[in-house]
Amino acid sequence: MTEVITKQEREEAFAMFYGMAASIGELAEPAPEMTDEERVERAKEVFLKGIDNNVAVQLDACVHCGACAQACQFFLGTEDPKYTPIHKLDLLKKVYKRELSPMSWLNKFLTPDITADDLRDQVELVYDSCTMCGRCNMVCPSAINIGDMVALNRSAMAAAGLAPAELRYMRDGQEADGTIFGADEDLFNFRIQDIEQKLGFEIPIDKKGADVLLMTSGLDIHLFADATGGAIETLHHMGVDFTLASKTPGYEGANFGSLSGYDATKKKLTKDSTAAIEELGVKTVIVPECGHSYPALRFGAAEAVGRDVKFEVMTVSEYFGRAVMDGRLKLEKKDHPTPIALHDPCKVGRWGGVFDEPRAILKACGYDLHETESNKQYNFCCGGGAGNFLLPSADKLKRVGYRIKMGEIEATGAEELVVSCGSCRMNFEVGKVKAGDSMPVESLAAIIAAHLPQKDKAEGDRA
């Protein structure tokens, strides 16, 4: 692997970036002004639009058994009953019961309507104390999709002008010019040129008709160049006909419309990316190591444009993992004397089904993988997913979530952690600093690149 960013460079960038991220709430435009009646009306409109047969059946299947609390790291870490996942759906349930349930004719008289104060109280429950990780979905005896219904709540809060300032700032910026954290086209080009210089080969940009488009994200551009560099180096090594795109819709994988609850922005960003991808004419898109960017494009593109799309979407670990599994990518098995743990990012794992691929990569690299007690679809969130790593108001909860996750990792005896998601990585890094932990957290893409066979040997193999 060619080192595209040194440890010291990364630490300096991290300190600068963390300072910037900590102040974005102050940079946000004031929240939209509206009356309490308007807030309630807008929130209800979103709820009513989002309740279909599936949501109704699931809401009617809840018996308030409370099992979901036992799967939620924010409840487990605080034992505060208000963080019980199903409680976060109370407003949605009220609107359903009063307005749409087959029993609404009766419920109207028995169930009080939601108020603007209810909405204000809800903000902490669906942003700060929920990363929509969906672990509660896995324990519920009725299999209620609480995670997706919290997403619907976020949409209602955003419509009511109550999304947290930090996420509003991120959404406003991306709505305006497609960028996040100021990672505009100039910065993207600078970063790619820097990587190009270090890797020593030309990185194709805007190559129409290439087989593969590799996307990146603002977080990687600023901080985790090793993830982008690792993916580029591996694609080059494999001889794949790939390209990157120089315009934001083609390179920015993150979607803060999705995380903040602004559905119109989510759709616009996905539509713009879809148009850019289809214009390039690539067959496959690799989204970056950025958890939510995978479901946003893989499952969101067709929904955004209202038709099937002409490309396949894979995430970094999925693409390279499959290449390892079917023999297209040979990695050099090295001697790793200490065990490693793997974090399955919720949006890629539980919400994306990518489990076997990263494990195949680690095996091919010769790692002794020690699984956490909760793994694959039962994995604990890093504690700061769904954009929560940017919310100072959620700091205490993030640390609680981190502690539970890190506790499981430490229990494996692993001395290193690998993760294929930038925001998980960011949350682990911040959590480590605050807790005084020191376990190295590595990018899977960087690990792949570090295990590419020596060039001469690889070329010999291909010949």
The residue whose two tokens read 């009646």 is: 37
In the bound state with other proteins, the residue whose beta carbon lies nearer, of 103 and 264, is: 103
Rounded to a whole number of angstroms, the minimum distance from the CB of residue 302 to other proteins is 4
Helix (H) / strand (E) element for 230: namely: helix 225-238
Q: For residues 416 and 442, what is the distance between their CA atoms, to the nearest angstrom?
A: 8
In the bound state with other proteins, the residue whose beta carbon lies nearer, of 349 and 358, is: 349
In the bound state with other proteins, the residue whose beta carbon lies nearer, of 62 and 205, is: 62
Rg over CA atoms, the chain: 22
Q: Please, are residues 7 and 146 in contact by the beta-carbon 8 Å criterion?
A: no
Rounded to a whole number of angstroms, the minimum distance from the CB of residue 384 to other proteins is 22
Q: Please, are residues 25 and 166 in contact by the beta-carbon 8 Å criterion?
A: yes
Going by C-alpha positions, the residue among 251, 255, 316, 319 that lies closest to residue 288 is 316
In the bound state with other proteins, the residue whose beta carbon lies nearer, of 306 and 337, is: 306
Q: For residues 72 and 133, what is the distance between their CA atoms, to the nearest angstrom?
A: 9
In the bound state with other proteins, the residue whose beta carbon lies nearer, of 354 and 390, is: 354
The phi and psi torsions of 189 (rounded to 5 degrees) equal -65, -40
Rounded to a whole number of angstroms, the minimum distance from the CB of residue 79 to other proteins is 8
DSSP letter for each residue of 251-320: HB---HHHHHT-HHHHHHHHHHHHHHHHHHT-SEEEE-S-TTHHHHHHTTHHHHHTS--SSEEEEHHHHH
Rounded to a whole number of angstroms, the minimum distance from the CB of residue 32 to other proteins is 28
- Please report how many Cα atoms fall inside a 13 Å half-sphere around the Cα of residue 27, on the Cβ side: 15
Rounded to a whole number of angstroms, the minimum distance from the CB of residue 67 to other proteins is 5
Rounded to a whole number of angstroms, the minimum distance from the CB of residue 72 to other proteins is 10
Q: Please, are residues 222 and 183 in contact by the beta-carbon 8 Å criterion?
A: yes
Rounded to a whole number of angstroms, the minimum distance from the CB of residue 80 to other proteins is 9
Residue ranges in contact with other proteins by CB under 8 A: 51-54, 56-58, 60-67, 69-71, 75, 79, 81-82, 84, 86-87, 100-103, 106, 137-145, 148, 295, 298-303, 306-309, 349-354, 373-374, 377-378
In the bound state with other proteins, the residue whose beta carbon lies nearer, of 2 and 142, is: 142
What does the angle CA 426 – CA 222 – CA 321 come to, to the nearest 5 degrees? 65
In the bound state with other proteins, the residue whose beta carbon lies nearer, of 167 and 406, is: 406
